[in-house]
Amino acid sequence: MAAAYDQVIIGGGHNGLTCAAYLARAGRKVLVLEARHVLGGAAVTEEVFPGFKYSVCSYVVSLLRPEIIRELDLTRHGLELIPLECSFSPYPDGSSLVRWPDQEQTRREIARFSRRDAENYPLFGDAMMRLARFVRPILEMTPPDAIDPGLGDLLDLLKLGRRFRQLDP
């Protein structure tokens, strides 16, 4: 009896769906299995209360590579990226913090809790940008075989380790 599927993807989050789309484009018969009632994982927007739609992790879509959006023609399939105007963090004591695209406005917001943190917020932003520049090429790498590495895999792991050592704390 012939197999009904060439590959089975466990998890219908945006990573699983991306993998399935590329495999299907390559002519494979793919089955995606998802435990939830909806596909998309962290990229899902759901109605958590009547009339209130929310995406808990939509920020991770920023990790969706532009070339993937282009190659899979996701905009033609309905992808719409809506810029984040602000983020809101409520706290148990009833207070809240809003993070705005405008750094100065966010600093004023942080200063309500801590002047020192507000003063250091630009340093935090700089550190995050350095980290993003460091991580971006790693996201595009084919992972080396860490279980049964060949010489090329060992060299790749060594280069990756050297990159981590150069990361400024």
Distance CA 90, CA 71 (A): 38
Instruction: Specify the DSSP class assigned to residue 33.
Output: E
- Token couple for 148: 């049964």
Q: How confident is the model at residue 34 (pLDDT cuts 50, 70, 90)?
A: very high
pLDDT at 138: 82
Kindly state the average pLDDT of the residues 43-57: 81
Q: Using the predicted structure, report yes or no on whether residue 102 has a pLDDT greater than 70.
A: yes
Task: Write out pLDDT tens, residues 145-169.
Answer: 778 888 988 888 888 888 888 776 6
Q: For domain 1-84, is the CATH number 3.50.50.60? A: yes
Q: What crossing angle do the helices spanning 103-111 and 115-139 adopt, rounded to 10°?
A: 130
Give the DSSP H/E element, type plus range, for residue 31. strand 30-33
Domain ranges of the chain: 1-84
- Token couple for 37: 């009632």
**Amino acid symbol at 98:** V
Chain CA centroid to CA 98, Å: 21
Q: Using the predicted structure, report yes or no on whether residue 1 has a pLDDT greater than 60.
A: no
**SS3 call for 11:** coil
The residues with which 9 forms a beta bridge, in sequence order, are 32
pTM, to two decimals = 0.68
pLDDT at 58: 65
- φ/ψ of 13, rounded to 5, equals -75, 180
- Token couple for 140: 């595009």
Quote the percentage of the chain above a pLDDT of 90.
46
pLDDT at 155: 87
